[in-house]
Amino acid sequence: RGRDGGGILNHASLSMENVRVTGNQAGAASTSADYSGDGGGIFNNEGSLVLTLVEIMDNETANGPYGTYNGVDGGHGAGIYSRGGTVSLTDSQVTGNSTGNGGDGGTGLNSYGGDGGSGGGIYLSTGADITATRTLIELNNTGAGGYGNRYPNGYGGAGGAGAGIYVADGTLTLVD
């Protein structure tokens, strides 16, 4: 499995002020049985994360690898991925982050392409609670879906959703 948290992996309580998290990448999956890592800049795993005057920019999650049968999904949450826990962003920026593309499916009948990663800027899952106050979230991208073998019933993967923010499960509060 590709590793989560390319820049920072938080399992406890972390506060940062006037910091830049930039140019990181979550780990790539090595086989079609694995998953691409999530959280290119920061992966918050049920912890408490307080960010003030922080720039989270130009981080990535890896592409999903080619599958011998089906392709693998690209990683999610290129800027921040929060699985549970709480995140507070104040006077911060989440910009220019990109999730990975889905891997192509194999040449066998009915192969499927992997989905592109979702949540280019921020991805919330498993009851995460995020409050963003006076925070700029812009110019983030999601990955493209991988190719599949259409014959007779396979299909390509879907492109990622929520280039700025993707809420799979949780609470998002935006202020100012």
113 in Cβ contact with 72 (< 8 Å): no
The strand pair at 165-167 and 122-125 is best described as parallel
pLDDT score of 107: 78
Measured CA to CA, the distance from residue 129 to residue 38 in angstroms comes to 18
Q: Which pLDDT score is estimated for 117? A: 97
Q: What is the mean pLDDT of the chain?
A: 94
User: Residue 145 corresponds to which amino acid?
Assistant: G
Say if pTM beats, i.e. exceeds, 0.85. yes
pLDDT tens digit sequence for 104-146: 988 777 889 999 999 999 999 999 999 999 999 999 999 999 9
pLDDT in tens, 58-91: 999 999 998 878 899 999 999 999 999 999 999 9
d(CA 64, CA 115): 8
Are the C-beta atoms of residues 61 and 118 closer than 8 Å to each other? no
- Select the more confidently predicted residue: 48 or 154: 48
More confident residue, 151 or 137: 137
> CA-based diameter of the chain, in Å?
54
- Helices then strands, counting H and E runs in the chain, come out as 0, 14
Which residue, chain included where needed, has tokens 């993707």? 166
Query: Is the per-residue pLDDT at 149 higher than 90?
Result: no
152 versus 4: which is more confidently predicted?
Answer: 4
Beta bridge partners of 51: 16, 89
